Structure 1
Amino acid sequence: MTAHADPSLTITPVDPADREALLAWNALLRDGFNAWREAAWWADGESVLAQHQDPKPGRTSVLLVARLDGTPVGAAGAEVDPGDPAEVEISVLPGHRRRGVGRALAGAVREALAGHAEVVQAETYSEAGVGFALDQGMRLGNQEHRLLRAMPLEPGPLAGASPSSGIEIRTWHGACPEELVEDWARLTTQMDADVPMGDLTRPASRGEVGELRRSEQRMDDQGWTLVRGLARHEGVAVGYTEILVNRHDPEILTQDDTLVDRAHRGRGIGRALKLANLENLRAVPEAAQARWIQTYTELDNAPMLALNRALGFREADVLSILEGELDGRA
């Protein structure tokens, strides 16, 4: 337990082996982070239990709860793999802000991460969150639109997707078929290099097949169904796309990465991939319970924004990602 200038404020770590404490921590972090946001996704309890009670080897996790006079009012979480920036989340319930809780949590996170990370990154969807991070010595690194599309899917908008001749699209659910896994690993490595990151530090690429298989297994263990599509031209993989469905809480689906090799852009492959994978989504039983599908696009990526709007997505809010040194230097 950590005491602060306000004697009524205490910060305590959460034992990931304590099921009820871990679930309460996740709900507290969610309620502060997602206050006033529309259709805001958050990891469900079962996924969080699987994540923290069977952690990734080598990963350092920090889980903290802040209390005022014994009442939980805020939470923080941090995850870091060796050599990567630490991903930090801090939230305070709306009725308890401007009392130093966020600053105290930020200080406690820095103490806990000492020796495990040099750089920290944090995400927020509010101007107040950006201002708080800037006050903590961070800098704005990148911004993306979060876009929403209502579910269920209607057949009309999904008709008429056909890429240039010679393009074959294959879709499936779950782990990558063995005959495609090398292609998938190569394209995801390319995505790691190509995705716009603004001024953010890139994490190490983990596109090798062994790491891919371990990631697929972890995702499955945490309750995720991977809905995937791959485009090939004359037998060579030239693009891929992926939708994430949480089997425990499928209300909000996530359209994740979509990549088309630079040499094959402008041929309708991205649109055809997305449409084929949306059709592929119909065969996932849990997807029938979804109310929304969300995706993210760089603010200045006009072609992808236009494609997403054509597919029925609309801008909901803006994700801001900030970065700074662990010691608070910008």
Structure 2
Amino acid sequence: MSAAQSCSAQILPVDPTDRRALLAWNAVLGEGFNAGREAAWWASEETILARFGDPRPERLSVLLVAHLDGEMVGAAGADVDPGDPAEIEISVLPAHRRRGIGTALAAALRETLAGQAEVVQAETYSEAGVAFALAQGMRVGNQEHRLLLDLPVDRPLDLEALRAEARPTPGIEVRTWRGACPEDLVEDWARLTTQMEADVPMGDLTRPASRAEVSEIRRNEQRMDAQGWTLVRGLAHADGTAVGYTEIFLNRHDPQILTQDDTLVERAHRGRGIGRALKLANLENLAGVPEAGSARWIQTYTALDNAPMLALNRALGFREADVLSILEGPLHAG
């Protein structure tokens, strides 16, 4: 790949089968992306090696690095599933910003992705990142609060106190487990996660194609386990019908930051305290995971205008840490 025209950095591809090059790429990408952020998770070496050691056959992944005077100063990556927007990341180490390196990486990504995608999406937590993406012809499509729940290792979360504040939920049963979804629940899980993909607030972003079939769920569970993830999950039933779910991700290689991922309650059953009951039951479920004892934070994401979920998360003790901006634009900006 030719050297960038807008700066003196050299942009080169990374071979994901080259262990040393792959880990160096991941380290620089994470260092630049998370600079200045509090309690910011990034994929561990074990996780990234497992991910690229068993790539999705239908997915195109692009890995690039920027070298300046023999030093790696930036990195970029892109993942594209057929028919979906390309998910891109561009990262420049703080000491080397405003020198055209990010622009050179962006141009190289566009060149490599030509014919593979028409739309690109990118995430950033900084105003500078938003400004850079806007200059590249993208627009803000959605924004979410990233919230943190502090978990000092010497003070466990007071679930009893939180449960005492919960609204009664007559007729609601919550079942929790860890790892792969039980066979007798997987059809309900597939249905609800498909609904989540349709219901989750995405602002003006292009929605990816739904992939919540049972076979895809099982394959994803296998991949996540291989990458070091423990899935901590709960499903709520109302009068025998599955009406909501929640899940937490814990990475066994780096358990300090846990992620409270999706929580869904079907519209017809909202306002009954099911979301709170799910989250509390799953936090209790989490307490049974040995690695969770090392956790310092749980992070979760909530759309800026999702007032009910923001109120629930704040009631559980979450605080706002920063704002995730997701931007979208054409691969080749006019």
TM-score category by the smaller chain? over 0.9
- Pairing of 1:195-210 with structure 2 (within 5 A): 195-210=200-215
Aligned-pair identity in percent equals 76
Which sits farther off after the overlay, 45-54 or 100-109?
45-54
Q: How far, CA to CA, are the matches of 2:47 and 2:323 in structure 1?
A: 25
- Deviation by residue 1:219-263 (Cα, 9 ceiling, x = unmatched): 111110000000001111000000000011111000000000000
In 2: Cα distance, 1:78 partner to 1:37 partner: 22
Counterpart for residue 41 of structure 1? 41
Q: Deviations over 1:243-295 (max 9, x none)?
A: 00001111100000000000000000000000110010001111111111000
1:45 corresponds to which letter in structure 2?
Answer: E
The equivalent of 2:333 in structure 1 is 328
- Structure 2 runs not aligned, ≥5 long: none
| Alignment correspondent of 2:157 | 154
Does the residue aligned with 2:10 lie in a helix, a strand or coil? Answer: strand
The amino acid across from 1:79 in the alignment is D
| C-alpha distance in 2 between matches for 1:15 and 1:154 | 43
Could you tell me which residue of structure 1 aligns to residue 145 of structure 2? Answer: 145
| TM-superposed deviation, 1:187 | 0.1
Query: Structure 1 235/98 Cα, relative in aligned 2: closer, same or farther at 3 Å?
Result: same
What is the DSSP-based 3-state SS (H/G/I as helix, E as strand, rest coil) of the residue aligned with 1:312?
A: coil
Greater alpha carbon shift after TM alignment, 143-152 vs 255-264: 143-152
Give 1:298's aligned residue: 303
Offset at residue 196 of structure 1 (A): 0.5
Matched position secondary structure for 1:200: coil
Matches within 5 A, 1:5-84: 5=5, 8-84=8-84
Q: 30-39 or 160-169, which moves further after superposition?
A: 160-169
Matched AA of 1:302:
A
Change in 2 beyond 3 A, CA 1:131/1:227: same
**Alignment partner, residue 230 of structure 1:** 235
Distance 1:154 1:22, change over 3 A: same
Partner SS for 2:115: coil
Structure 1 vs Structure 2 CA RMSD: 1.1
Contact 1:61 1:79 in 2 (8 A): yes
Summarize deviations over 1:71-105 as a string: whole Å, max 9, x none: 11000011011011111000100000010000000
Q: Distance in 1 between matches of 2:96 and 2:295?
A: 33
**Separation in structure 2 between the aligned mates of residue 197 and residue 286 of structure 1, nearest angstrom:** 32
Q: How many residues are treated as equivalent by the alignment?
A: 329
1:7 to 1:265, Cα distance in 2 relative to 1, 3 A: closer
| Counterpart residue identity of residue 95, structure 2 | G
Q: Offset of 1:159 from its aligned partner?
A: 2.8
Residue type at the aligned position of 2:157: E
- Contact 1:163/1:272 (CA < 8 Å) preserved in 2? no
Q: 1:296 deviation in Å?
A: 0.3
- Superimposed CA distance per residue, residues 12-67 of structure 1 (whole angstroms, 9 cap, x where no aligned partner): 11111111111111010001000000101111111111111210111000001001
The answer to whether the 8 Å contact 1:123/1:319 transfers is yes
Q: Is the 8 A contact 2:167 2:272 kept in 1?
A: no
The two structures have a TM-score, normalised by structure 2, of 0.96
Give how far 1:5 is off. 2.9
**Cα deviation per residue 1:148-200 (whole Å; 9 max; x = unaligned)?**
01114322543334642111000000000000000000000000000000000
Within-5 A mapping of 1:95-244: 95-152=95-152, 153-155=156-158, 156-160=160-164, 161=166, 163-244=168-249
Distance in 1 (CA, whole Å) between partners of 2:307 and 2:31 is: 33
What letter corresponds to residue 66 of structure 1 in structure 2? A
